[in-house]
Structure 1
Amino acid sequence: MIIIPKRLEGVFEIQLSSFYDNRGLFMRSYDESIFSEYGIHRKWIQENQSVSLKKGTIRGMHFQYTPFTESKLLRVVSGAVLDVFADLRKDSPTYGQWDSLILSEDNRSMVYIPRGFAHGFCTLCDYCTVQYKVDQVYTPSAEGGIRWDDPSLAIKWPTQTPLLSEKDKNLPTLDLFISQNRGIDSA
């Protein structure tokens, strides 16, 4: 397992090591001692899975408001996605910036996203399954989001005509989020 810090502080790419033999493969997807070395071990209290049927589906950019912010640990079980995360931490030097990486069943990478980030992904093929752990209970009243095509973020998505939920079509812009002084805390 190789853990690589990303450009936005607190985000890590985790490259899993696979061991092959005549039966197939084995890999460890979580190791408390290794994650603790990087300060990213959490008490994961919920694990979720989403299945997207069509290439070009965007889910995001989602988060939960303080005090229900959540860290996430994501991996792709089948297919491939462009995984995107935007820093919404009020006290961060990279506030309002985004980064991304490709997660796929082939590259066996995961991403750790700390509290205080909006998160989303775009499917790069049909039939993508994303599995993720969170360290906070889903709280509908604390749910928030930023538009996928927000001009201030200018995320470089692999599609301009995504398949979106009605909720995601109507999310506010980053400028509206900022004007409401609604940054989120990382604690």
Structure 2
Amino acid sequence: MIDGVKIKRLTKHCDDRGYFTELVRDDDGLLSRFGQAAMSFSYPGVIKAFHYHEKQDDLWFFPSGNAQVVLYDLREDSPTKNQTNVFYMGEENPILLLIPKGVAHGYRVLGEKPATIIYFTSESYKANDPDEKRIPWDDETIGFNWKTKNR
């Protein structure tokens, strides 16, 4: 696994009314500090990739739909530099994924329904000085094949 990436398996507490799940707690040791929470909705087949941050860590959760999440370690001093990780997240696999600063990340919505992502950051977004560095989804250096393989 890419150095610094963390996963928290989530627990559903179910009863006849539905379920309750804790997402993030201050004693989880996931974010060094809390900056912002946000949500995004994407249609089936959409690819949102790649970007990375120099100052902030991201914590991702997909409460609805399913996504293929791809990480690529850009950090010069990392023992996992240039490594790629792929995670399948969403309703079928409810996990939190911590993405450290310097790790490029993106996702593709899987299946026939939209996906919602809720994400938490260690820094708030600053419109006049955004910590968002973009890389094309088909960047040759990363070289990730987003196509689903037929069997």
| TM-score normalised per structure 1 | 0.71
Gaps of 5+ in 1: 1-6, 161-187
Count residues in correspondence.
146
Distance 1:158 1:80 in 2: 15
Correspondence for 2:5: 11
Structure 1 segments of 4+ aligned residues over 4 angstroms from their partners: none
Q: Aligned pair 1:22/2:16, yes or no?
A: yes
Q: Paired residue for 2:118?
A: 131
Residue 118 of structure 1 corresponds to 104
Aligned partners of 2:143 and 2:7: how far apart in 1?
A: 22
Taking structure 2 as the reference length, the TM-score comes to 0.87
Q: Report the Cα distance in structure 2 between the residues aligned to 1:120 and 1:31, rounded to whole angstroms.
A: 24
CA distance in 2, matches of 1:106, 1:26: 16
Q: Does 1:92 align with 2:63?
A: no
Corresponding residue of 1:171 = none
Give 1:138 deviation, angstroms.
2.2
- Paired-residue identity, %: 30
Quick one: which of 26, 39, 44 aligns to 1:49? 39
**What residue identity is the alignment partner of 1:133?**
F
* Residue 66 (structure 2) pairs with residue 80 (structure 1): yes
| Correspondence for 2:145 | 156
Task: For residue 159 of structure 1, report the CA deviation from its aligned partner.
Answer: 5.3
Partners in 2 of 1:9 and 1:64 — Cα distance?
16
- 1:102 equivalent in alignment to 2:91: no
The runs of 5 or more residues in structure 2 that have no matched partner are none
For 2:132, the aligned partner's letter is: E
